[in-house]
Amino acid sequence: MSNDDIHGTAKPQFARLRKMLADHLATGEELGFSLHVDIYGEPVLDLWGGHKDAARQEQWREDTIVNVWSSTKPVTNLAALILADRGLIDLAAPVAEYWPEFAANGKEAIEVRHIMSHTSGVSGWETPWTIEDMYDWNRSTSQLARQSPWWEPGTASGYHACNQGQLVGEVVRRVTGKTLKEFVRSEIARPLGADFQIGATARDDERVAEIIPPAPLDFGFGSVPPDHPMVKTFTGPVGDANAANTIGWRRADMGAHNGHGNARSLARMLSPISCGGTVNGTSLLSRATIDRIFEEQANGVDLVLGVPLRWGLGYALPEPRTVPSIPDGTRRTCFWGGWGGSMVVMHPDDGVTIAYAMNKMAPGIIGSDRSNAYLTAIYDAMR
């Protein structure tokens, strides 16, 4: 494939990145993708290309959307920040203040900031628990309310891989009366004009790109004991990327990992963080609330992912040992990515938002070699 197979627009300084994308399509490293960079809400790069299906029969189009896995979490945590900004949630208050049942079995002191920053001790469901069980909102939230924490809340992070959407989303529901997907649609996506949703509606099924799973995750936990948070999180439930191609997955409300959009819409959804809270006249956050993102909540080896991570309030902060492409300098940066490589990065001191979404998943849970290469090329071009 050539640059002619890449669609969209980009400033001239991104020519090397455009060639990289074309090369990845030509070699099959990439199947279908979208990549977006904007500065204070104005795009400087908006590219897409490739195919939306494994058979290569359907082109990835401007309006193609795809499951972005855990790049959904930044949107879910944005919902909580918006409610905090409106004075409806105190991020340092106990979750049980809004969701009384959650206080059961030693969880009465777990704060909203803990569930947003993966330090609550409730990083998964007690087994037996299946992917399909997550689709039932009442069952999944009731189960989380009954559980005990798996480590002392607030003392360390342990990635809330599959359940952060239900944890944060139930607080959203109790406070607003709206489900998480309803709140995201009506209070974030619609005001910003972003083509992004938790799950996907039936009318959008034809636009959804097929997910191509990576090699199966290695769940050989070695010497890790069976009651370790890593084992319990990744077996409650056991992940299967093929689930994202099912109707059950698309119709569910799972703010941890079933957001559907593309790089353009993902960047638009998170651009309020980069732009001082207001994008094209739509104000969602105050600067004071954005500042709170950068209050460090945890810094060390994550109990679930087993790698060094720094967590701010709801978002990861730069940690070069784990995500080398995210700069750790004097300018503030926050981010998160999804299984297989999707990524969204916000730079509130510079007004820059970067997002990447794709359908051919790469190995790894936090970004990928591809996303690292694209981010590095973007930063090089913008120097």
b/e string for 203-242 if b means 16 or more Cβ within 10 A? eeeebbbbbbbbeebeeeeeeeeeebbbbbbbbbbebebe
CA–CA gap between residue 162 and residue 143 (Å, rounded): 14
Task: For residue 364, give the amino acid letter.
Answer: G
Contacts of 51 (CB under 8 A, 6+ apart): 31, 32, 57, 58, 59, 60
Tokens of 142: 């009731």
DSSP letter, residue 310: E
Hey, CA dihedral for 111, 171, 163, 261, is it positive or negative?
negative
Identify the pLDDT of residue 223. Answer: 82
b/e string for 80-96 if b means 16 or more Cβ within 10 A? bbbbbbeeebebeebbb
Identify the pLDDT of residue 1. Answer: 45
Region of 295 please: left (phi>0), alpha (psi -120 to 50) or beta.
Answer: beta
CATH 3.40.710.10 matches 3-382: yes
CA–CA gap between residue 118 and residue 303 (Å, rounded): 10
Q: For the segment 162-203, what is each residue's pLDDT rounded down to a tens digit?
A: 999 999 999 999 999 999 999 999 999 999 999 999 999 999
Q: For the segment 31-52, what is each residue's pLDDT rounded down to a tens digit?
A: 999 999 999 999 999 999 999 9
Tallying the residues shown for the chain, one arrives at 383
Which H helix or E strand runs over 286? none
Minimal CA–CA distance to 170: which of 100, 223, 92? 100
Contacts of 346 (CB under 8 A, 6+ apart): 270, 271, 273, 274, 315, 333, 334, 335, 352, 353
Q: Which residues pair with 65 in a beta bridge?
A: 208
Neighbours of 15 (CB within 10 A): 12
Domain ranges, ordered by start, for the chain: 3-382
Phi and psi angles of residue 249, each rounded to the nearest 5 degrees, phi first: -65, -45
Identify the pLDDT of residue 336. Answer: 98
The residue written with tokens 């099959």 in the block is 28
Per-residue tens of pLDDT for the chain, all 383 residues: 445 689 999 999 999 999 999 999 999 999 999 999 999 999 999 999 999 999 999 999 999 999 999 999 999 999 999 999 999 999 999 999 999 999 999 999 999 999 999 999 999 999 999 999 999 999 999 999 999 999 999 999 999 999 999 999 999 999 999 999 999 999 999 999 999 999 999 999 999 999 999 987 666 677 889 999 999 999 999 999 999 999 999 999 999 999 999 999 999 999 999 999 999 899 999 999 999 999 999 999 999 999 999 999 999 999 999 999 998 888 999 999 999 999 999 999 999 999 999 999 999 888 899 999 999 999 999 98
Q: Work out the angle between the directed axes of helices 369-382 and 15-27 (0-180°, nearest 10).
A: 160
Contacts of 221 (CB under 8 A, 6+ apart): 228, 230, 231
